[in-house]
């Protein structure tokens, strides 16, 4: 798909179709980085963020046993 670069205030941007955002799970915040000659946009949300700490607390409290 081709898109035009549009003016947004003093910046420029690209409109990304809603189905594209839904397909890869991007919400309202993104990470933007340069990789070689490409601009890479990815979700800033990490769905499993904090799980390691939660599992550690579960083990400490004995809540990690099978029922």
* Neighbouring residues of 4: CB distance < 8 A, sequence distance ≥ 6: 14
Predicted TM-score (pTM) above 0.85: no
Contact status, residue 30 vs residue 44, Cβ threshold 8 Å: yes
- Looking at residue 60, what DSSP letter applies? H
Domain range annotation of the chain: 5-61
Q: In angstroms, what is the C-alpha Rg of the chain?
A: 19
Question: What is the predicted pLDDT for the residue at 63?
Answer: 87
Q: What is the pLDDT of residues 17-65, one digit of tens each?
A: 999 988 988 888 899 999 999 999 988 877 777 888 989 999 999 888 8
β-bridge partners, 31: 42
Joined together, the tokens standing for residue 50 give: 């904090």
């Amino acid at each position: 798909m081709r898109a035009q670069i549009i003016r947004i205030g003093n910046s420029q941007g690209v409109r990304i179709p809603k189905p594209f955002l839904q397909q890869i799970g991007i919400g309202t915040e993104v990470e933007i980085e340069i990789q070689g000659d490409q601009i890479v946009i990815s979700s800033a949300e990490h769905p499993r963020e904090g799980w390691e700490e939660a599992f550690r607390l579960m083990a400490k409290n004995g809540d990690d046993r099978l029922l």
